[in-house]
Amino acid sequence: NAGVTQTPKFQVLKTGQSMTLQCAQDMNHEYMSWYRQDPGMGLRLIHYSVGAGITDQGEVPNGYNVSRSTTEDFPLRLLSAAPSQTSVYFCASAEDQESYEQYFGPGTRLTVT
Amino acid sequence: AQKITQTQPGMFVQEKEAVTLDCTYDTSDQSYGLFWYKQPSSGEMIFLIYQGSYDEQNATEGRYSLNFQKARKSANLVISASQLGDSAMYFCAMSRRTSYDKVIFGPGTSLSVIP
């Protein structure tokens, strides 16, 4: 099992550009989520999904879109990048919404100039 | 509103000694879960331990134990017999019990283990 994979590992964008951060898991997990981590802060939940076709907003969803067309994939889209979105992004998965252990991907470090 | 507080930005511990990392929380939910995660310098997030608010026993996982005091709203992580590989950031987190739609993380504590 590869676990949770994220691509790319690093990305630099200019203000206004759009891009998609990829996340995939091969554990057949129902629950997937996206977090951002800023210096001096813990992780903050952006969006999450409890299964294919179902997504919902977390604590900081503005400026981000998600979709869940398959169980395996949960891409995060930045519609129009802003410097405030400079952060490290983590994708995570759990067996289902009743599970308490989340498995995290290695993270994507995004810089918006 | 839910909130997690970790008042120790940095901690030092001698190798082989025990260390306690503090976590206090605030929630109006009756049922909730408390987590601890480790983030080494390599950046990945590693789940360590979980405590449900209705669990009567304190959770333990190997050298990790969670000192859960519900009335004080504290969920301190105790690491016994510290090892050099324990040097990392440690994050306390809370969610509705087994539900992640309101999961929040604390700011973290940096632990350094001294040989």
pLDDT at B104: 87
Q: What is the pLDDT of residues B34-48, one digit of tens each?
A: 999 999 999 999 999
Q: How far is A39 from chain B (nearest CA, A)?
A: 9
**Do residue B47 and residue A103 have CB atoms under 8 angstroms apart?**
yes
- What residues of chain A lie within 8 A of the CB of B46, using their CB? 104
Q: How far is A80 from chain B (nearest CA, A)?
A: 25
Whether residue A8 is preceded by a cis peptide bond, meaning omega within 30 degrees of 0, is: yes
Say how far apart CA A67 and CA A111 lie, in whole Å: 23
Residue length, chain B? 115
- Using an 8 Å Cβ cutoff, are B48 and B24 in contact? no
The two beta strands, A10-13 and A108-112, are parallel
pLDDT at B8: 93
- As a 3-state breakdown, chain A gives helix, strand, coil percent values, each rounded to 5, of 5, 50, 45
Chain A, window 10-29: residues with a beta carbon less than 8 angstroms from a chain B beta carbon: none
Q: What is the pLDDT of residues A54-69, one digit of tens each?
A: 999 988 999 999 999 9
Q: What is the pLDDT of residues A62-109, one digit of tens each?
A: 999 999 999 999 999 999 999 999 999 999 998 887 777 889 999 999
